[in-house]
Amino acid sequence: MSERFGRFLLVGFFRFLFRLLTRVTVLGKQNLLAHGGYILASNHLSIVEVPLVYILVDRPDITGFVAKDHQKNLLFRTMVNAMGGIWLNRDEADARALRTARDHLKKGGIFGIAPEGTRSPTGALIQGKTGVAYLAHLVDVPIVPVAITGTWKSLPKIFKLQRPPITVRFGAPFTLPHIQRQERDLALERDTDEIMSRIAVLLPPEYRGVYADHPRLKELLAAQGSA
């Protein structure tokens, strides 16, 4: 099965499922870039978000990391391969996966990733990791923040045909400032806080977690209020 045909089938299948089993509201879709490489940085509450964001982006060149643990599942492995997903070994620094992501972005593709690195156990933001900031600097591409609500603990509701409401909000693209090698570690931490605050400002207060009182979030909220 070709990757293009596989995507066509999966998009149709997932769109049908989400319309049937959930009530999805999409905001800010105009912020998605029509051309060129960029990173989609999202909060992460459930496995439901991966296919949902995949079908909302109207470009075939979107991909992202998928943990190699899931390769054991034949159905899941087939779907990920059809979507062009990049298998990631989370037990080590996977240089091969990082190079693949870098090359994909350099070719003008879209790369989706959750800066937290794992699903939040609380339903609110947890501490972000520096990998997304590092990747953005490596290829010098913009970042589009994504805030998703309604997916935490949504699978039981979906299985019970309760059609849980889900909201996906895309924020405005932004770029990170150039950093000097000697200040790299400190700058990556700062830029990670920037990315997470950009996601947090799109979320309701109860979803902001460890970033609820972050000074940068307060600046963004103040700017939002004055606008």
Q: Tell me, what CATH number does 44's domain have?
A: 3.40.1130
Domain that holds residue 145: 3-226
Predicted TM-score (pTM) of the model is 0.92
Q: How far is CA 144 from CA 8, 84, 91, 148, 170, in A?
A: 24, 20, 27, 13, 7
Q: Which residue has tokens 């970033």?
A: 211
Number of domains composing the chain: 1
- Residue 93 pLDDT > 90: no
- The whole-chain average pLDDT of the chain stands at 91
Q: Can you read off the two tokens belonging to residue 146?
A: 């994504």
Give the residue-averaged pLDDT of 143-169.
95
Give tens-digit pLDDT for 158-191.
999 999 999 999 999 999 998 877 788 899 999 9
